C-alpha cells in the first residue's frame, strides 16, 4: 500500500469548532522548533501570558495554556481545586454542562446539578436561590453552550459568589474573543477557553486564567518538594500529575520548574492568534462576530427556515436551524460538504437529527463564508425538495452588509 503525501481539499468550515485557522497562525505553525528553555522561547511564553491577560480582560497574575484540548483546561482547574466531598453546583443547560458534572464527579466532588430544558438558560436569580440552598464551595457553569446555541448571563451570579466567598469557574471555550467576556469585572475566579473556536487557532491548547483565591487552594495542595521524589503523605494532594496546576504554574513562572515538555509549535500558533486579536482589538473583534452572527440569522429567516431557541439568550457565534419536515439532516450536511466543500454540524442528545448547528467563529466569521453557507444551504434544501424562499437569503444578507459596512454611504 502506498501512502500519499497529504493533499486535502480546501473547506469552508462553519461548525461550532474547529473552525478555519487564521492564515498567519498557519504560517507560525511552520516556524522551526527551538528548545523549551531557550531564552527566546521563554520570552514567547511571557508574551503569550501578557496577550492572554488582554484577551481575558484580567489583571490576574496567572494566565497560561494547558497542553491538550479545551477540556484539559477544564479538568486542570476542577481537579486542582476540588477535594473529595467538596460541594459543587453545576447549572446544566446542554452537553458541555454535563461534561463539567462528570469532571467534578471524577475529582471526588459532590455534584449538585440543576438541569434546564435544552434551548433554555437560567434566570440568574434561580441559580442564586440554589446556591443559597446548597452553599457550595464552587459554582461551575458554561458561558456559551455550543450544543444548544445559548448563552448564560454571568454577572449577577459572579457578584453573588464573590460576596459569599464561593468560587466561580466558567467554561468560556466557545465565547472568548467572539463574545464579550470580562473576567475581573464579572468576578470570575477561573476561566478556561479553547483555541479552535473564536481564537482561530487549531485545537490543542486550553488557555486559562485564575486569581489568588484559586491559587491559595493550589498552594495548600502543592506537592512538597523532596528532591525529585513524590510526597505521598500530603493527603490534600491533587489527584492528577498532568493537570496539577500548582506544578504547571511553576513551569509558567520565572523559575521555569520543569513539569511537561511545552509544545513550542502550538505556542507559536497561540501567540500569533492572540497577536491577531490584539491588532484587531477585542471590541472590534466582538463587533465583527456580532455582525456576521446577525447576518447569518437574518439570511436564514429570509430563506424561510426556522431557528431554534429564543432570540434573547442566543449565543451570537452559533446559530441553530431546525431541519424542515421530511428532510434528512445527514443528507443535507453530506451534500453541503461533498458538493460545496462547506461543513456545518449536526447535534447531540435531544437535538440529534432535528437541527443543524452553524458556527460563525474566529477566522470563519467573515462575509464570504456567511454568503457561501446561506447559498449552499438554500440550494441543497431546494435539491431535496424543501420549500424555501429562493434567492431571498443572499439578497437580504447583501443588503444588511451594505448598510452595516457603509452606514453613511448607504443612507445617502
Ligand atoms: C462549550 C464547550 N465546552 C467544552 C468543549 C470541549 O472542548 P474540546 O473538545 O476542545 O475538549 C467544547 C467543545 O466543543 C465546547 O463547545
End-to-end CA gap in the chain: 65
Q: What integer pLDDT is reported at residue 107 of this predicted model? A: 97
- Tell whether 287 and 274 lie within a shared domain: no
Cell numbers 447559498 correspond to what residue? 375
Mean pLDDT for 337-347 is: 98
Q: What integer pLDDT is reported at residue 412 of this predicted model? A: 44
Regarding the beta carbon of 70 and ligand 1, being less than 6 Å apart is answered yes
Regarding the beta carbon of 203 and ligand 1, being less than 6 Å apart is answered yes
Q: How many CB atoms lie within 10 A of CB 300?
A: 25
CA–CA separation, 263 and 293 (whole Å): 33
- Tell whether 290 and 271 lie within a shared domain: no
- Tell whether 305 and 244 lie within a shared domain: no
Cell numbers 473529595 correspond to what residue? 84
Residue 270 maps to a domain: yes
* pLDDT tens-digit series, residues 366-411: 999 999 999 999 999 999 999 999 999 999 999 999 999 987 665 5
- Tell whether 268 and 294 lie within a shared domain: no
- Tell whether 182 and 317 lie within a shared domain: no
Residue 297 maps to a domain: yes
Q: 170 C-alpha vs ligand 1 centroid, how far in Å?
A: 12
Q: 176 C-alpha vs ligand 1 centroid, how far in Å?
A: 12
Q: Which residues contact 48 (CB under 8 A, 6 or more apart)?
A: 64, 65, 267, 270, 271, 274
Q: pTM of the predicted model, to two decimals?
A: 0.97
Regarding the beta carbon of 96 and ligand 1, being less than 6 Å apart is answered yes
CA–CA separation, 299 and 321 (whole Å): 12
* pLDDT tens-digit series, residues 42-88: 999 999 999 999 999 999 999 999 999 999 999 999 999 999 999 99
Of 257, 278, 299, which residue constitutes the final position of a domain? 278
Domain span at 172:
21-278
Q: Which residues contact 47 (CB under 8 A, 6 or more apart)?
A: 271
At 31, which CATH number? 3.40.640.10
Regarding the beta carbon of 17 and ligand 1, being less than 6 Å apart is answered yes
Regarding the beta carbon of 69 and ligand 1, being less than 6 Å apart is answered yes
What residue's CA is closest to ligand 1, atom 8?
A: 70
Whether the per-residue pLDDT at 156 is higher than 50: the answer is yes
Regarding the beta carbon of 110 and ligand 1, being less than 6 Å apart is answered no
What percentage of residues in the chain have a pLDDT greater than 90? Answer: 93
* pLDDT tens-digit series, residues 278-335: 999 999 999 999 999 999 999 999 999 999 999 999 999 999 999 999 999 999 999 9
CA of residue 76 relative to chain centroid, distance: 16
Domain count, the chain: 2
Mean pLDDT for 249-275 is: 96
Given ligand 1 and candidates 95, 96, 99, 208, which is best to mutate, with the most ligand atoms within 8 Å of its CB? 96
Residue 8 maps to a domain: no
At 383, which CATH number? 3.90.1150.10
Sign of the four-CA dihedral 7, 9, 11, 15: negative
Whether the per-residue pLDDT at 13 is higher than 60: the answer is yes
What percentage of residues in the chain have a pLDDT greater than 70? Answer: 96
Amino acid at each position: 500500500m502506498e501512502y500519499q503525501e497529504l493533499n486535502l481539499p480546501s473547506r469552508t468550515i462553519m461548525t461550532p469548532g474547529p473552525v478555519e485557522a487564521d492564515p498567519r497562525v498557519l504560517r507560525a505553525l511552520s516556524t522551526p522548533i527551538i528548545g523549551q528553555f531557550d531564552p527566546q522561547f521563554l520570552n514567547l511564553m511571557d508574551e503569550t501570558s501578557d496577550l492572554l491577560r488582554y484577551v481575558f480582560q484580567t489583571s490576574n497574575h496567572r494566565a497560561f495554556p494547558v497542553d491538550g484540548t479545551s477540556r484539559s483546561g477544564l479538568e486542570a482547574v476542577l481537579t486542582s481545586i476540588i477535594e473529595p466531598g467538596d460541594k459543587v453546583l453545576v447549572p446544566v443547560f446542554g452537553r458541555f454542562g454535563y461534561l463539567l458534572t462528570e469532571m467534578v464527579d471524577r475529582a471526588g466532588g459532590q455534584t449538585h446539578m440543576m438541569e434546564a430544558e435544552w434551548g433554555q438558560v437560567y434566570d440568574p436569580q434561580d441559580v442564586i436561590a440554589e446556591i443559597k440552598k446548597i452553599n457550595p464551595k464552587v459554582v461551575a457553569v458554561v458561558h456559551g453552550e455550543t450544543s444548544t446555541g445559548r448563552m448564560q448571563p454571568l454577572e449577577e451570579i459572579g457578584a453573588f459568589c464573590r460576596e459569599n466567598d464561593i468560587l466561580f469557574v466558567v467554561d468560556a471555550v466557545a465565547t472568548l474573543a467572539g463574545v464579550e467576556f470580562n473576567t475581573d469585572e464579572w468576578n470570575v475566579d477561573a476561566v478556561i477557553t479553547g483555541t479552535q473556536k473564536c481564537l482561530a487557532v487549531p485545537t490543542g491548547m486550553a488557555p486559562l486564567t485564575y486569581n489568588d483565591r484559586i491559587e491559595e487552594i493550589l498552594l495548600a495542595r502543592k506537592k512538597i518538594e523532596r528532591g525529585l521524589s513524590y510526597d505521598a503523605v500530603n493527603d490534600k494532594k491533587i489527584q492528577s500529575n498532568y493537570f496539577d496546576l500548582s506544578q504547571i504554574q511553576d513551569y509558567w513562572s520565572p523559575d521555569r520548574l520543569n513539569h511537561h515538555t511545552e509544545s513550542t509549535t502550538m505556542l507559536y500558533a497561540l501567540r500569533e492568534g492572540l497577536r491577531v486579536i490584539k491588532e484587531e482589538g477585542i471590541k472590534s473583534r466582538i463587533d465583527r462576530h456580532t455582525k456576521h452572527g446577525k447576518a447569518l440569522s437574518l439570511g436564514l429567516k429570509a430563506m424561510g427556515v426556522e431557528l431554534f431557541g429564543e432570540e434573547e439568550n442566543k449565543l451570537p457565534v452559533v446559530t441553530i436551524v431546525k431541519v424542515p419536515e421530511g428532510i434528512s439532516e445527514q443528507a443535507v450536511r453530506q451534500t453541503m460538504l461533498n458538493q460545496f466543500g462547506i461543513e456545518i454540524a449536526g447535534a447531540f442528545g435531544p437535538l440529534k437529527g432535528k437541527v443543524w448547528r452553524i458556527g460563525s467563529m474566529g477566522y470563519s466569521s467573515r462575509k464570504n463564508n456567511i454568503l457561501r453557507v446561506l447559498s449552499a444551504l438554500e440550494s441543497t434544501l431546494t435539491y431535496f425538495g424543501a420549500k424555501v424562499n429562493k434567492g431571498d437569503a443572499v439578497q437580504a444578507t447583501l443588503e444588511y452588509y451594505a448598510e452595516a459596512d457603509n452606514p453613511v454611504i448607504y443612507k445617502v
